[in-house]
Amino acid sequence: MPESSNLQESIQYHLQFLYPQENHLQLVDQIAAIFADYEKPVSLKEIWSEQDALLITYGDTLLHEGERPLETLQRFLNEKVGETISSVHILPFSPFSSDDGFSVIDYLKINPKLGDWEDVAEIGKEHRLMADLVINHTSAESEWFQNYLAGKSPGKDYFIEVEEGEDLTEVVRPRASPLLRHVETPDGPKSVWCTFSHDQIDLNFRNPEVLYEFLRIIRRYLEEGVQIIRLDAIGYLWKEIGTTCIHLPETHEMVRLLRTLLDIYAPGTILITETNVPNHENLTYFGNTNEAHMIYNFSLAPLLLHALLAGTSKHLKTWLMSMPPAPVGCTYLNFTASHDGIGMRPAEGLISEPEQAEMIESIRNAGGLCSTRKLSDGSEKVYEINVTLFDALKATIQGPDDYHIPRFLCSQTIMMSLEGIPAFYIHSLLATPNDAKGVEHTGRFRSINRKQLNYDEISAELDNPSSSRANVFHEILRRMKIRGQQPAFSPNATQFTLHLNSHFFAFWRQSVNRQQSIFCVNNLTSKKHKLQLSQLNLISTDNWVDLLSEKSLQNRTGIVTLEPYQTMWITNRK
């Protein structure tokens, strides 16, 4: 436990910035009391390595009769996945009222339909556990909001009231629904702030009591074995009428405060921010190495999808050249699909409007859907594409072909090759098609990529070598096992973009000790293409091999032919 003076020195500046009118010493004492007697064992293991990979899943994606879903998830991890996946992000596991978990009723409980805290802790024993801190808003059915409606505490002062006539035109919205919800309280009618939906009521972090509530939640998560804390929708946390109400200085200061507290009380715990916004905005959440340890590489998904649909690396390469290396002690979380759709805001300024429209039309032809957001002028724009990545890649903008699976595997291999840690959404790992019936049942576009699966049926398919699901699943795991043995794929290994023809997407990784190089070359098209190896500057004293095909490259200046959507990992170390 840190001494009180050290704690004050570490966090007092954050509190002065956030709560200038409050007694800061008293705030420090309150925070210290929340973490009193909490001691997390300090791990001597490095925070991450080339052996790290993340699985993103709902707690009840896999179902088995007579078994709690979290038990079934653990069985899948043990029986099918093994050590290839080091970390698991169990999407919101608390009781909820909407948005498939992101409208939390009680943060300190486990949804009984999933299991209990023991099930969560069991998964955390074998895998690094990641959990959502749904910090921007809470459910309208939560005790806090119900108390607010009744004029009681805790909750009476936990929400943001807006006076009639306030100018909210500058507020950045991720949804097209009305921003304000009108409610009756003991003090008369009020209008409360709802960034996402009228069932998700934004919390008022100007009140330090709200901060205390979430620090108590964080402590409970830590006690139950959570090692990665995901700050959901964090960019919208702080509101200031007359501004955009996104990425405000107070929001960044809150992230810095949480980072400081975790570094003090739970060293080794990873903080990751979820900010589905344009790339230059997303990068700010590294701060000065004092905010998030990890940020989602949100631009990768739409750019990679465009590259494979259009058969060109021009935008993907331009973006990669502009991406800074992650700061020391930080890294990227690379993903191509998640429980949400593929966000289009991170593609703003990177893919032209006509090209975005062409890509969206291709997705719609593949059975995909599109969600929109409302702009300040009242118009609407596509906010995200709703589709399973497997189905999104079953054709290109030119139409269907015979390369569905190679194209999909190429997408996953590029993702696992880039600087950072790869994250696989379970429905990508399992090559799940669109769930049109799910959308019809719920009325929500995101349900297209949230299908619940029978574990026995999935297990049988994975054991059937002729099934597409088995081919995708086992090939991804094979490539991940190869990846995990290469120091040049360490999350913070050097990365440089290579300048080849646009039908290729290529980059170079080099291990921290400079002993291993890997040239990652990907054919983005449905045609064979020749690669002149002299373009890669292969060192003459080394022997070079393609890790994926295990073919030796005897002639360093010769020519190799890449099949449609083939990836080569050309390395001097095997």
pLDDT at 286: 98
Q: Among 520, 533, 531, which residue's Cα sits nearest to residue 562?
A: 531
Report whether pLDDT(380) > 90.
no
Residue 415: which CATH number? 2.60.40.1180
Say what the pLDDT of residue 54 is. 98
Query: Which residues define the annotated binding site?
Result: 99, 137, 230-232, 339-340, 446
In-domain check, residue 504: yes
Half-sphere exposure of 240 (CA within 13 A, CB side): 11
Cα(292)–Cα(263) distance, integer angstroms: 11
Q: What is the pLDDT of residues 35-86, one digit of tens each?
A: 998 887 666 568 999 999 999 999 999 999 999 999 999 999 999 999 999 9
How many structural domains does the chain have? 1
Question: Is residue 219 in some structural domain?
Answer: no
**What would the mean pLDDT of 384-400 be, rounded to a whole number?**
96
DSSP type of residue 346: G
Query: From start to end of 27-110, where are the E strands?
Result: 54-57, 62-63, 87-90
**Region 257-269: what's the mean pLDDT?**
93
Q: Average pLDDT in the 98-126 region?
A: 96
Tell me the residue type at 251. T
Answer whether residue 201 shows pLDDT above 90.
yes
- Give the Cα separation of 341 and 334 in Å (integer): 15
Q: How confident is the model at residue 574 (pLDDT cuts 50, 70, 90)?
A: low
> Does residue 52 fall inside a structural domain?
no
DSSP-derived pairing of the beta strands 544-546 and 551-553? antiparallel
Q: Has residue 514 been placed in a domain?
A: yes
Whether residue 232 lies in the annotated active site = yes
Q: Which domain holds residue 534?
A: 292-444+475-574
Q: Would 220 be classed as within a structural domain?
A: no
Tell me how far the alpha carbon of residue 93 is from its chain's centroid: 16
Residue 556 is assigned to a structural domain of this protein = yes
Q: Which of 60, 199, 232, 546 is catalytic?
A: 232
- H helix or E strand, kind and range, residue 314: helix 314-322
Percent of the chain with pLDDT over 70: 97
For residue 1, the model assigns a pLDDT of: 44
The 10s digit of each residue's pLDDT in 308-363 is: 999 999 999 999 999 999 999 999 999 999 999 999 989 989 999 999 999 999 99
* Residue 573, pLDDT above cutoff 80: no
In a domain, 62, yes or no: no
Confidence category of residue 10, pLDDT binned at 50, 70, 90: confident
Q: What is the mean pLDDT of residues 374-403?
A: 90
* pLDDT over threshold 50, residue 3: no
The pLDDT assigned to 7 comes to 59
Annotated binding site for substrate: which residue ranges?
99, 137, 230-232, 339-340, 446
What is the DSSP code string of 126-185? HSEEEEEE--SEEETTSHHHHHHHHT-TTTTTSB-B--TT---TT---SSSS-SEEEEEE
pLDDT above 80 for 210: yes
Residue 386 belongs to a domain? yes
pLDDT in the model for residue 44: 53
CA separation, residue 319 to residues 269, 302, 355, 502 (Å): 30, 11, 16, 14
